[in-house]
């Protein structure tokens, strides 16, 4: 061999057949180095390494097989879980559908019952209003048929109070409401009736109404009676000898409190005036409602009426 290298010797007569020889030339010198390796040790090394690599390969193959089996197991389990989940989801959707249909049916039944109840209450309010109007008309006929002016005046007052109560039911009927009365609508309708009864236009008397809020039926009746009595007193006593006058009505419900004021610009209450039937009715209602009542002295006159009411949700369907 030229230069340094390794050359296996296979035909050397002096070579040991159990060894593997190589001759290496030393560079720049005319020398050769002969190296031999025991073939048995090489075979043993190959055998040892082969066994190790073989065992490692078998272990790796077994590990791969185990991992593959685990992967297959989990894949099948996940597939079964997915199928079970899909079945459960379908069952849930079916139950939800049944429950929704049941709730829809019950809701429709409740809505139908509520509509029937609303119609029934409307009919009740309408019939009560008609009945009260009929009673008021009978009272008015009795007054017209009586020759005693005092009796006529009393019967006219009774008829007017009956109409004031009937107007509440008319307002509920027109508003399509069950229990809560809108004060502005109610008092506006009531005052229109009072204008006609007392001939406000012919006498030049103006009535202003400012109202907001809602009241329960019984409380609205109380407010209506108070307004009717106070306005009636103003028409009868406040504007004697005059062809004009102003009456103001303020009613507000806010934060569970009702404030009512009826005032006029007339001559005021006479000195040492005694309470008539109308004022006694107002004071009686004040006691029933545990209200604060004040009578305003002249010039001009009026009343204020304050009481607490429980906040109520609207009853309009």
pLDDT digit string, tens, across residues 124-158: 766 777 777 778 787 777 777 777 888 877 887 78
Q: What is the CATH number of the domain that holds 253?
A: 3.30.565.10
Whether 167 maps to a domain, the answer reads yes
Whether 183 maps to a domain, the answer reads yes
Whether 175 maps to a domain, the answer reads yes
Rounded Cα–Cα distance for residues 239 and 231 (Å): 12
pLDDT, average across residues 185-201: 87
SS (H, E, C) the chain: CCCCCCCEECCCCCCCCCEEEEEEEECCCCEEEEEEEEHHHHHHHHHHHHHHHHHHHHHHHHHHHHHHHHHHHHHHHHHHHHHHHHHHHHHHHHHHHHHHHHHHHHHHHHHHHHHHHHHHHHHHHHHHHHHHHHHHHHHHHHHHCCCCHHHHHHHHHHHHHHHHHHHHHHHHHHHCCCCEEEHHHHHHHHHHHHHHHHCHHHHCEEEEEEEECEEEHHHHHHHHHHHHHHHHHHHHHHCCCCCCEEEEEEEEEECCEEEEEEEECCCCCCCCCCCCHHHHHHHHHHHHCCCEEEEECCCCEEEEEEEECCCCCCCCC
Whether 295 maps to a domain, the answer reads yes
Whether 238 maps to a domain, the answer reads yes
- 207 pLDDT tier (thresholds 50, 70, 90): very high
CA proximity to 273, closest of 223, 310, 232, 238: 238
Rounded Cα–Cα distance for residues 125 and 133 (Å): 12
pLDDT, average across residues 80-101: 84
Cα angle at 16 between 11 and 19, to 5 degrees?
Answer: 95
pLDDT at 304: 92
pLDDT, average across residues 265-289: 82
- CA 153 from chain centre, in angstroms, equals 52
pLDDT at 13: 44
Longest CA span, the chain: 172
Whether 13 maps to a domain, the answer reads no
Is 1 a residue whose pLDDT tops 70?
no
Whether 73 maps to a domain, the answer reads no
pLDDT at 125: 65
Rounded Cα–Cα distance for residues 80 and 160 (Å): 83
Rounded Cα–Cα distance for residues 264 and 200 (Å): 13
Is 261 a residue whose pLDDT tops 80?
yes
pLDDT, average across residues 227-252: 88
Rounded Cα–Cα distance for residues 307 and 286 (Å): 8
Cβ of 235: how many Cβ atoms within 10 Å? 22
pLDDT at 126: 64
Is 118 a residue whose pLDDT tops 70?
no
Is 275 a residue whose pLDDT tops 90?
no
Whether 85 maps to a domain, the answer reads no
Question: What is the model's pTM?
Answer: 0.59
pLDDT at 269: 74
pLDDT at 150: 81
- CA 282 from chain centre, in angstroms, equals 39
Number of domains in the chain: 1
* 45 touches 39 (CB < 8 A): no
Is 42 a residue whose pLDDT tops 70?
no
Pick the more confident residue, 210 or 42: 210
pLDDT at 249: 94
44-90: per-residue pLDDT in tens? 776 777 777 777 787 888 888 888 888 887 788 777 888 888 888 88
pLDDT at 64: 83
Is 15 a residue whose pLDDT tops 60?
no
pLDDT at 177: 66
What is the domain extent for residue 162?
A: 146-308
pLDDT, average across residues 31-54: 72
Mean pLDDT of the chain: 78
């Amino acid at each position: 061999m030229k230069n340094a290298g390794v050359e296996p010797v296979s035909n050397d007569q002096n070579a040991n057949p159990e060894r593997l020889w190589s001759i290496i030339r030393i560079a720049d010198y005319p020398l050769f180095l002969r190296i031999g390796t025991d073939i048995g040790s090489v075979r043993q090394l190959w055998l040892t390494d082969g066994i190790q690599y073989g065992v490692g390969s078998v272990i790796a193959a077994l590990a791969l097989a185990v991992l593959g089996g685990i992967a297959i197991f989990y894949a099948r389990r996940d597939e079964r879980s997915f199928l079970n989940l899909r079945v459960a989801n379908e069952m849930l959707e079916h139950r939800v559908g049944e429950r929704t249909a049941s709730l829809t049916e019950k809701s429709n039944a409740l809505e139908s019952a509520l509509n029937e109840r609303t119609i029934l209450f409307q009919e009740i309010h309408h019939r009560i209003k008609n009945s009260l109007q009929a009673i008021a008309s009978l009272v008015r006929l009795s007054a017209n048929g009586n020759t005693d002016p005092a009796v006529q005046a009393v019967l006219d007052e009774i008829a007017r109070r009956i109409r004031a109560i009937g107007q509440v039911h008319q307002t509920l009927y027109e508003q399509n409401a069950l229990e809560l009365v809108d004060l502005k609508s109610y008092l506006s309708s009531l005052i229109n009736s009072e204008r006609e009864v007392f001939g406000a236009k012919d006498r030049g008397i103006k009535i202003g109404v400012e109202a907001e809020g809602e009241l329960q039926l019984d409380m609205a009746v109380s407010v209506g009676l108070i307004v009717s009595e106070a306005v009636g007193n103003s028409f009868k006593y406040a504007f004697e000898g005059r062809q004009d006058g102003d009456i103001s009505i303020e009613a507000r419900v806010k934060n569970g409190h009702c404030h009512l004021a009826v005032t006029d610009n007339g001559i005021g209450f006479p000195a040492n005036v005694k309470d008539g039937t109308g004022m006694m009715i107002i004071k009686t209602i004040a006691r029933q409602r545990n209200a604060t009542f004040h009578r305003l002295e002249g010039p001009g006159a009026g009343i204020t009426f304050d009481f607490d009411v429980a906040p109520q949700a609207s009853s309009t369907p």
